[in-house]
Amino acid sequence: MSTARTPLVVVGDALLDHDLCGRADRLAPDAPVPVVHGTRRSSRPGGAALAACLAAADGRPVTLVTALGGDAASDTLRELLAGRVGLVEVPLAGTLSSKTRVMAGDRPLLRLDDGDGRAREATREAVSAIAAAGGVLVADYGRGTADVLRDALAHTAAPVVWDPHVRGRPPVPGVRLATPSAQEARAFARQLDEDEEAGDAAGLRTAARDARTLVRAWQAQAVAVTLGERGALLSHGETPLLVPTPAAATGDPCGAGDRFAAAAAGLLADGDLTEAAVQAAVHAATRYVAEGGARAVAAPDDPEPAPEPGADGDTTADAVRTATRVRAAGGTVVAAGGCFDLLHAGHVALLQAARRAGDCLIVCVNSDDSVRRRKGDGRPLVPAADRVRVLRALECVDAVAVFEEDTPERVLGELRPHIWAKGGDYARTRLPEQPLVESWGGQVLLLPYLDGRSTTGLARRAALAPAPTPGGTR
* Whole-number Å distance between alpha carbons of 32 and 29: 7
* Whole-number Å distance between alpha carbons of 382 and 340: 9
* Whole-number Å distance between alpha carbons of 343 and 110: 48
- Alpha carbon distances (Å) from 375 to 381, 449, 455: 10, 20, 11
Q: What are phi and psi of 258, to 5 degrees?
A: -65, -40
- Alpha carbon distances (Å) from 154 to 130, 174, 175: 10, 8, 8
* Whole-number Å distance between alpha carbons of 254 and 264: 18
Instruction: Specify whether 258 is catalytic.
Output: yes
- Alpha carbon distances (Å) from 58 to 3, 244, 261, 266: 11, 22, 13, 8
Helix, strand, coil tally for the chain in percent (to 5): 35, 25, 40
369 CB contacts (<8 Å, ≥6 apart)? 312, 404
Q: Which residues pair with 444 in a beta bridge?
A: 420
> What letter would DSSP give residue 425?
G
Start-end of H helices in 149-238: 150-155, 182-192, 204-218
Q: Report the first-to-last Cα separation within the chain, whole angstroms.
A: 62
Concatenate the DSSP letters of all residues of 387-411 into one string: HHHHHHTSTT--EEEEE-SSSSHHH
Between CA 119 and CA 130, with CA 125 as vertex, the angle to 5 degrees is 85
* Whole-number Å distance between alpha carbons of 400 and 336: 10
Helix (H, G, I), strand (E, B) or coil at 307: coil
- Using CB atoms within 10 Å of the CB of residue 451, give its burial: 0 to 12 exposed, 13 to 18 middle, 19+ buried: exposed
**Catalytic one of 210, 258, 312, 398:** 258
Taking a C-beta distance cutoff of 8 angstroms, is the pair 49, 66 a contact?
A: yes
Taking a C-beta distance cutoff of 8 angstroms, is the pair 340, 397 a contact?
A: no
Q: Which residues pair with 226 in a beta bridge?
A: 181, 232
* Whole-number Å distance between alpha carbons of 195 and 217: 16
Q: Which residues have a catalytic role annotated?
A: 258
